[in-house]
Structure 1
Amino acid sequence: MTDRTTQVEHGGLALERLVFFSDAVFAIAITLLVLEIEVPHLARDGGLEQFGEAMAVLFPKFFAFGLSFLVIGRFWISHHQLFGHVVAYSPRLMWPNVFYLMAIAFMPFSTALLGTNLTQFGPAMFYNLTLLATASVGWVLVRRIRELSLADAPLAREANGAFSVILGALTSVALTFVSPQFSQMGMVTIPLWIRVLNRKLSA
């Protein structure tokens, strides 16, 4: 076995371990979201009305859970698609990925804070800034892969996709000043930003 073959095999193993570790962090973070929803204790003779009231009290936490589940799921899909193009490994890829995973692992806390204080400015802004930080590190990760020429494609559209999440998060931050409880809807603008950026790419 030549040194070149050994280097390629070790690089492939390191890349595989990086992806497996990343998937594990995503899985743990997305699972932790539901642990913040406490099961209500109902009286035996409480009836359907008591059940409905208990569920209504939990609605903010259900909303925060559903929102963050979709957000983390979208981040994972982007990460999965990105690394589907990565065919080489570099140690310089490690730290951007670690910081990205750190932001993902922090999401359950910001989600719990939002779910407990859905209509308040501070928790909503904190959550949206968490989204912005995560999106920004994700964009840096794409840039690092492009700079190191580790992919089998230019990743221009992937870079646009990552940057569009930043723009969506910035939209949510701006909307916080208007309506904290609906500010996360700014993330819905991401497909629009993707279309605009890809149109400029094709021009």
Structure 2
Amino acid sequence: MFEMRRLEMLSNTIFGVAMTLLAYDLPKASSFKQAPSWMDLVHVYAQPVIALMISFIVAGMFWFSHHRRLAVAPEGGRGVVFLNLFFLLSIILLPVTNGLYGTYRLDGVLAVLYGVHLTTIAALNAVLWVLALGGRRDPHLLTTALFPVVVFVLGTAAAVVAPEVAQYTWCLAFLAPFAGWLAARRAR
């Protein structure tokens, strides 16, 4: 058995670096030849900042979930450790897809790529939660883990036909704690 505290230290570093690198692709001041107007700022920064905000909140949401999961299952076997490493790899790649999505947010292919990435992160998180619960039925935790998967799949499907709508659908994933609360309430 592997003590997950070691993985927790690694994950804090990975999440911190990945969340910081999200800002790397923001346009630099040198993209303006003179002092920009408000509309110039909106035109240049709106798309990248929207992508950064979605990605930062998604990363924060999964960082919180990851720490809660490690507290629920403080030890894990080799398979769980490797699955956690794949989960962390998916977080490391977030600045890459965020940069592409922030630059070309309305492009269908890149919106779908970003959506597939968000879905992958959510699916790995959900599988890790199922393993951490070890067969226990906890409607609150299971719903909180599975809800983002459903939302990201729907958002990615929306990105196929209407990339400009996908970001609004993906933001619904932030309601996962509320969905978990409702599931726990219904189970009583």
Q: What TM-score, normalized to structure 2?
A: 0.85
2:172 match: 189
1:166 match: 149
Query: How many residue pairs align between the two structures?
Result: 185
1:90 Cα deviation from its structure 2 partner: 2.9
1:70 equivalenced with 2:57 (yes/no): yes
1:33 match: 22
1:175 match: 158
Where does structure 2 lack aligned partners over 5 or more consecutive residues?
A: none
RMSD: 2.6
1:98 match: 85
* Cα distance in structure 1, aligned partners of 2:159 and 2:36: 36
Residues 132, 166 of structure 1: 8 Å contact kept:
yes
1:23 match: 12
1:185 Cα deviation from its structure 2 partner: 1.6
Match of 1:198 among 176, 183, 186: 183
* Cα distance in structure 1, aligned partners of 2:130 and 2:180: 20
1:83 equivalenced with 2:70 (yes/no): yes
Give the counterpart letter for 1:17 in structure 2: R
Residues 139, 163 of structure 1: 8 Å contact kept:
yes
Give the counterpart letter for 2:18 in structure 1: A
Call closer, same or farther: CA 1:116–1:89 in 2, change over 3 Å.
same
Larger Rg: 1
1:122 Cα deviation from its structure 2 partner: 0.4
Match of 1:133 among 105, 120, 127: 120
Residues 103, 130 of structure 1: 8 Å contact kept:
yes
Where does structure 1 lack aligned partners over 5 or more consecutive residues?
A: 1-6
